[in-house]
């Protein structure tokens, strides 16, 4: 990046992209009237309270209050910086960012997020150097050779070595505070010490190639924990990222499929044998966010788990996330390995060709899902079929409206001889309808708040103010200065959408207030918005004139009026008599 991003480019970009398309690619949306809805990605909930409005280009959650435009969504959902969010939108729109060079531009590197990114890149390089030069390097090299790790793979994945020592990083990186914020140092007994010691280091890079965290494996299996990940930091959120995605996309930006495995070494081994489309979850249950991340690059994901009890449990737990993101354009398959093997050991045991054939024959998620129940339940009995319907229902509730959902419901009806579709539909819609009914009861707003909210939510109404300008001297109510500033700003900028206007207030003192106005519930049908604004505006102006008339009449009987004030009084009297 060589400078500031022009404001006009950001405005134009917000017109080019559609917030519904962007959010739907991350969180499947369901059309509900004029809006789109989903379960909120920013807090846990059972029924959808997250709404996206195409006209406003704005999202809002009635549950947790999250809201904003498409830039805000990418920043919050993908944990991006502002610049990274703009870059992602520009890539989506297929346009280049025309950076401006400015001598007074404050470098983005001063931003804490970028400081951390720079530090983590340096730490990753440091660990790579230790693998080459440290006096203890042979212990690490022997381990890697024993696992068959080739030099070119170690290079591609930036594999490094954290030497045995409590304070190895601090002498090389003087900023102890930043090392702590990056998760590289821990604090105990009044002492800062290296979190990773005597471990093989696997840098975890995000989709853009930034090192955001590390995974460290012990060299002696008697040590615990065997694997240690970076803690949650400003950069690293392990439930949102996977290991190996950057390296995968560097070789193929649009892979036909992505294989999800359990460990770092599984990814490394698979890559060495030419299966370079594998990634690993980071020590947590697979999440919907991780799957959404993968589905932005492919249409098929294969879950590859060890065949032991732990692997089987992990595969089933993943169904919760899988059913949250599936649609007609996405396919998930499940591959359970023999119980005594993981991908690394099985690949070395049976060879690439046989292992690849296992991948090709992986079970479709629909088949895996129903088989999970049918092998345990007696479907010849009413009780068994009732249990199947009851246990399958929570998963089917998560599915977005699609042909896939209809076919899953049809399969469930075939197995149970009972149609659960009406119950599914009722549970999907009733909570949202009831919640909105409660929200909409007794919704009353002050005239000033209603007028401003209508204008913020419908910037095209600015033409009304050009025809019937505000008499600012006549208006008198709490917050008049802010009201005037916002109205005048809209008149000057003439934004196309709510989202475009709000972007001008990002990080300003008024941002929170404007977001609240943008998400304010106004019980007026689309076709009545303009008439309602006319009425509110006229009433506001009439109230202002009356207030000013009253003040001038009182002043006339006390301190008297100037000639200009007498003229204003005469005009107001004429207007009030019309």
Tell me, letter by letter, the H, E, C secondary structure of 49-65.
CEEEECCCCEEEECCCC
pLDDT at 163 over 90: yes
CB atoms within 10 A of CB 171: 7
- The model's confidence at residue 372, banded by pLDDT at 50, 70 and 90, is very high
**pLDDT for the residue numbered 489:** 84
Same fold, 111-229 and 245-359: no
Give CA–CA dist 11/7, Å, rounded.
Answer: 6
Q: Which two tokens stand for residue 515?
A: 């977001």
Domain ranges of the chain: 7-93, 111-229, 245-359, 377-440, 447-577
Average pLDDT over residues 51-61: 92
Structure tokens at 59: 């999202």
Reduced DSSP (H G I as helix, E B as strand, rest coil) percent helix, strand, coil of the chain, to 5: 55, 10, 35
Question: Of 36-45, 93-102, 498-507, 555-564, where does mean pLDDT reach its minimum?
Answer: 93-102
Across the range 481-497, mean pLDDT stands at: 82
The answer to whether the CB of 102 falls within 8 A of the CB of 3 is yes
pLDDT at 312: 92
| pLDDT at residue 573 in the model | 79
Q: Between 91 and 141, whose confidence is greater?
A: 141
Mean pLDDT, rounded, for 22-42: 86
CATH class of domain segment(s) 447-577 = mainly alpha
What is the mean predicted confidence (pLDDT) over 492-515?
Answer: 86
| Residues 278, 282, 283: CA angle, nearest 5 degrees | 125
Residue 104 has pLDDT above 70, yes or no: no
Whether the per-residue pLDDT at 416 is higher than 80: the answer is: yes
The arithmetic mean of pLDDT across residues 122-142, rounded, is 96
pLDDT the model gives residue 533: 83
Mean pLDDT of the chain: 86
**455 has a pLDDT exceeding 50:** yes
Instruction: Give the residue with greater pLDDT, 227 vs 541.
Output: 227
- Give the strand pairing for 67-68 and 58-61: antiparallel
CATH code for 7-93? 3.90.580.10
The CATH code for residues 245-359 is 3.40.1360.10
Please determine, looking at this structure, whether the domain spanning 111-229 carries the CATH number 2.60.120.10: no
Q: Which of 140-144, 434-438, 484-488, 508-512 has the highest mean pLDDT?
A: 140-144
What's the predicted TM-score (pTM) here? 0.69
Whether pLDDT at 215 is above 90: yes
Confirm if 131 and 167 have CB atoms less than 8 A apart.
Answer: no
Give the C-alpha separation, 401 to 397, whole Å: 10
Two structure tokens written together for 234: 């400003």
Residues contacting 389, CB < 8 A, separation 6+? 412, 416, 418, 420
Residue 542: Cβ within 10 Å count: 13
Tell me: pLDDT of 446 over 80: no
Task: Quickly list DSSP for 419-481.
Answer: --HHHHHHHHHHHHHHHHHHHHTT----HHHHHHHHHHH-GGGHHHHHHS---GGG--STTHH
Mean pLDDT of 350-365: 96
């Amino acid at each position: 990046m060589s400078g500031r991003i022009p404001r006009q480019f950001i405005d134009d970009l917000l017109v080019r992209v559609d917030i519904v398309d962007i959010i739907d690619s991350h969180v499947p949306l369901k059309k509900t009237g004029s809006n789109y809805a989903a379960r909120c990605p920013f807090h846990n909930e059972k029924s959808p309270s997250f709404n996206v409005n195409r006209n406003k280009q704005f999202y809002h959650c009635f549950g947790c209050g999250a809201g904003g435009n498409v830039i805000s969504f990418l920043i919050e959902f993908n944990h991006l910086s502002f610049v990274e969010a703009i870059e992602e939108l520009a890539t989506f729109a297929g346009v280049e960012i025309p950076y401006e060079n400015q001598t007074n531009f404050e470098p983005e590197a001063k931003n804490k997020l970028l400081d951390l990114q720079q530090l983590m890149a340096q730490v990753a390089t440091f660990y790579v150097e230790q693998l080459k030069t440290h006096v203890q390097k042979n212990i690490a090299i022997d381990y890697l050779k024993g696992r068959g790790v080739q030099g070119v793979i170690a290079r591609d994945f930036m594999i490094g070595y954290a030497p045995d020592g409590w304070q190895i990083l601090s002498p090389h990186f003087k900023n102890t505070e930043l090392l702590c914020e990056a998760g590289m140092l821990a604090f105990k007994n009044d002492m800062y010490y290296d979190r990773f010691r005597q471990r093989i280091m696997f840098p975890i890079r995000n989709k853009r190639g930034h090192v955001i965290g590390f995974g460290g494996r012990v060299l002696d299996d008697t040590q615990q924990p065997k694997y240690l990940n970076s803690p949650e930091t400003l950069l690293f959120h392990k439930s949102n990222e996977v290991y190996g995605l950057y390296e995968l996309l560097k070789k193929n930006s649009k892979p036909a499929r992505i294989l999800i495995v359990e460990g770092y070494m599984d990814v490394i081994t698979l890559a060495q044998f030419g299966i370079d489309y594998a990634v690993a979850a980071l020590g947590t249950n697979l999440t919907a966010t991780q799957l959404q991340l993968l589905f932005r690059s492919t249409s098929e994901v294969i879950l590859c788990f060890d065949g032991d009890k732990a692997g089987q449990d992990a595969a089933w737990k993943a169904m919760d996330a899988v059913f949250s993101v599936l649609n007609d354009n996405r396919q998930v398959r499940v591959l359970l390995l023999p119980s005594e093997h993981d991908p690394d050991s099985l690949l070395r045991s049976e060879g690439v060709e046989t292992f690849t054939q296992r991948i090709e024959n992986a079970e479709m998620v629909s088949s895996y899902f129903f088989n999970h129940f049918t092998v345990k339940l007696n479907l010849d009995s009413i009780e068994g079929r009732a249990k199947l319907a009851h246990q399958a229902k929570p998963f089917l509730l998560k599915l977005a409206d699609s042909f896939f959902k209809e076919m899953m419901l049809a399969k469930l009806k075939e197995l149970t001889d009972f149609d659960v579709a009406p119950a599914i539909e009722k549970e999907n819609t009733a909570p949202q309808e009831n919640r909105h009914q409660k929200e909409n009861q007794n919704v009353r707003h002050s005239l000033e708040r209603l007028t401003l909210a209508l204008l913020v939510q419908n910037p095209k109404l600015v033409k009304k103010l050009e025809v019937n300008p505000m008499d600012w001297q006549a208006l008198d109510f709490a917050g008049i200065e802010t009201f005037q500033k916002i109205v005048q700003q809209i008149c000057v900028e003439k934004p196309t959408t709510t989202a475009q206007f709000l972007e001008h207030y990002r990080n300003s003192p008024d941002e929170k207030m404007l977001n609240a106005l943008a998400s304010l519930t106004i019980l007026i049908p689309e076709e009545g918005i303009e008439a309602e604004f006319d009425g509110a505006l006229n009433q506001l102006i009439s109230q202002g004139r009356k207030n000013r008339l009253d003040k001038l009449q009182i002043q006339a009987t006390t301190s008297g009026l100037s000639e200009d004030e007498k003229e204003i009084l005469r005009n107001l009297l004429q207007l009030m008599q019309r």
